[in-house]
Each structure stands twice: as structure tokens, then as C-alpha cells.
Amino acid sequence: MIKILHTADLHLDSPLKSLALRDEALRDTVQLATRTALARLVQYGIDEGVSALLIAGDLFDGKERSAKTAAFLIAQLERLRAAGIAVFYIKGNHDAENPAAGAFDLPANTHVFDGRGGKVQLEGTDIWIHGVSFRDKHAPESLLPKYAGPVEGAVNIGMMHTSLAGAAGHDPYAPCTPGDLAAHGFDYWALGHVHSRAVHGTDPWIVMPGTPQGRDIGEAGQKSATLLRIEGTGLEGSGLDGSGIAIEEVLVGPVAFHHSTCDLTRVELADLRATLAAHLRAEAAASKSDATILRLHLTGQSALAWQLRRDADVWTETIHELARDTGCLWVEAVRIDVSEPPQTAASPNAVTELAQIMRAIRAEEGFATQARAELDEMIALLPPERRQALAPDEAGTAALLDEITDQAAQAMLARMKGAVG
């Protein structure tokens, strides 16, 4: 059996975007997460006795040159060289704009494909690796015409950095379809560029491994690489035809971002802290990372709804403390969407009168126009990627405005109810 590791989009030393950096105990883990992911991937390859590591683009991040990043990378590649593991690397869009990507010599076990494309035989096997690197940071046309046809009687693996037919949140790079790739005749396509894991085909295998380390809550979940197991001797002359390829997900990311929902329906005040603690302990038990950064969403129907909103700062800090007690969780944000059960709705008083007034104000055309103008001004102050995430289109902006005004009204009513009650 021949084993090969497939990864992409490591974005070495890319800064993770999280409020968790405020926690001194967690800061080093977060800041070094991309390096730790690569080091773990290398160690896994050595322990498993893999024959090769495939890096399908975006090994580097952005335009910054870092001698420390280069030194770290070379040290990891040298570990693979010492273990007799070959490395095959294609440059992606971020590598093409990073001066560090071609500024130093890589160890002899590392083959970097150029923009013309080519193929290399994995030494001692009937496995051929095909690859094409990005020449520039943009690749608006398909790269598939640059790939030679498959080598007859051998296992053919193609490496490509591509958005395929398009992916949400990703620019269109080297566009093609899974059908186009399947028709080319290779046994496995080792893709990169899209940060979420996806298997687009099994005959042949068309695999996007995703990034091995998520960078923010938009890349939630445990991140991984892919292990190929190619059955047969894999030796020259064996006639191995690729029909025996199997894949396995390999978890390597030290930090995971996660959306978590806690239902507080019918929870009483005396049980609230214990309910929150039990929920966080369950999240910790399910975590497979060194650290998990949560966005916690409190939902359900409870008579405590107004108290949770009125005392949101107190309960948010309580949740932070309970998460820290688990030893592996950090809560980045708490969202309270708990509503009162219909049967506990208050009888007419100052609070219900205020609720009616606010509903009437929100229904006025002038209010909507003014609120939208103020929201647009605030959104304009955000970085482009945050603007796109918060308000991707007209419908998204309108929904955001509704959510903000609703949350503000609920918070005011909660304070009023506490004063009246």
C-alpha cells in the first residue's frame, strides 16, 4: 500500500481573527495555529510512513515576506526529507503574490510545479503527479488545457488550485467543473482554494481538502487534510490502475471555531447556571481540538427572557467563566434570542404600552429611512470582507436592520420590565 497526504490552503502565519486573542492563556495557541497544523501534518506523515505530501496551493498568505516563516517551513520540509517523504507543491493565488514563495531554496525532496505545468513520477512507483502553478494572483481561465493526458497503466494524480464552478466567498479562479476534471482521465484530483472540505466525485476522486486551520468563525468546524491509501504494491511494473484508491480525513487543526446553540426553554433561574455549565461541558467533551472558540446562541422560550436581556453583561461574563473552567473552550460572543412564553406575557402596563409605541415607530416610513441611512454609514466604515459578510446584498442589509432594531427594542423592554416588576 502506498500512502499520500493531500493538503492545501495552509496560509502560513495568516492571523486568526478572533477576540480569543485577548486571553493570554490562549493567545499563543491561536497565533501559532497555522504552524502547528503544518507541524502536526508532517508528524502524521512521518508516523504513517507516507510516500508523499501534496500541497495544492496557498502555502503562504498575502504579500508579507517573513524570514521566520521561511525558516519554519524549511525545517518542516527537512523533517520530511529525512524520513524519505517527497513533497509536491503547486502555487495558488496567494503564493503568486507572496515574494517569499520563490525567495529561498527548498530541500531536494520538494518539487514545485511551474506555470507551464508538468508531471513527475513518484520514485519507485507507478504513480505520476501532475501539476500547474499560478503565474499571477489571478487565473480567470481554466488551467485544465495545461495538463497532459494520463500516463497509461499508472495511477495519475492531478493537483489544481481552483474554485471549480464557483464557491460562496471565493473569487472565480481557474474555473472548471467536476465533469471536466473527470473526463481528463486522472484517478485522483488533489484540489485547493476553497477552505471548506468537499468530495466532488469518487470515480475518479475529486477532493477539496479544505484548509487545515480555520481562520475565523466563517471557517467553523474541525479542519483537516486527506490521506490517500492506494492498494497494491505500487512498484514499477505492477500495473496498478487506481481502482484501489481510498481516502480518509485526518484532523490536524489545533483551533476550531464553532457555532453552538443552547435551548433554555422552561429553564428556571435556579437552574440557569447549571444548564449553561452542562451545555459547555458537553461542547468540551465533543471537541477534538486543543482549543475551541464558540459563538454561543441562547434560544427557546423562558420566563427568564427579560432577565437575560436586562442582565446580559452579567450572564455573558458567567458564560466566559464557565467556558474557561472546561480548559479548552473560549466563548467569542453570546447572542440572546430567548423569548417569553405566550402564557407569561405581561398584562397591560407601562411595558406593554412602550412595546406598542416602539412597534408603531418602527412601522413609520421615516424611521426606516433614517435607520437604514445610519446603518449604511456604519457598514461603510468596516473592511470590505466584513461588509460582504454582514450585508452581502439588499435583502441581507434589510434583514440586518430588522435584527438590530428588534434586538434594541427587546433590550429596552427588558430594562423596563425589570424596573416595573
Question: Can you give the pLDDT at residue 90?
Answer: 93
Percent helix / strand / coil, the chain, rounded to 5? 40, 20, 35
Using one digit for the tens of pLDDT, what is the confidence trace for 108-147?
A: 999 999 889 999 999 999 999 999 998 766 666 788 999 9
pLDDT band at residue 421 under the 50/70/90 scheme: very low
More confident residue, 169 or 134: 134
**Is pTM, for the whole model, over 0.85?**
no
Question: Can you give the pLDDT at residue 121?
Answer: 96
Helix (H) or strand (E) holding 160: strand 155-161
Instruction: Check residue 362 and report its DSSP letter.
Output: H
Residue-wise DSSP of 48-62: HT-SEEEEES--S-T
Residue 4, SS3 per DSSP: strand
pLDDT band at residue 180 under the 50/70/90 scheme: very high
Using one digit for the tens of pLDDT, what is the confidence trace for 54-83?
A: 999 888 876 655 778 889 999 999 999 999
* CA dihedral angle for residue 18, residue 19, residue 24, residue 26, rounded to 10 degrees: -40
Three cell numbers written together for 70: 521561511
Instruction: Check residue 150 and report its DSSP letter.
Output: P
Three cell numbers written together for 28: 499563543
The angle at the Cα of 13, spanning 7 to 17, to the nearest 5 degrees, equals 100
Q: What is the mean pLDDT of the chain?
A: 84
Cα–Cα distance, 81 to 341 (Å, whole number): 64
Q: How many of the other CB atoms lie within 10 Å of CB of 335? A: 14
**pLDDT over 50 (residue 242):** no
pLDDT band at residue 226 under the 50/70/90 scheme: very high
Using one digit for the tens of pLDDT, what is the confidence trace for 79-101?
A: 999 999 999 999 887 676 555 54
pLDDT band at residue 395 under the 50/70/90 scheme: confident
Three cell numbers written together for 13: 502565519
Domains of the chain, earliest start first: 2-253 (3.60.21.10), 256-420 (no CATH)
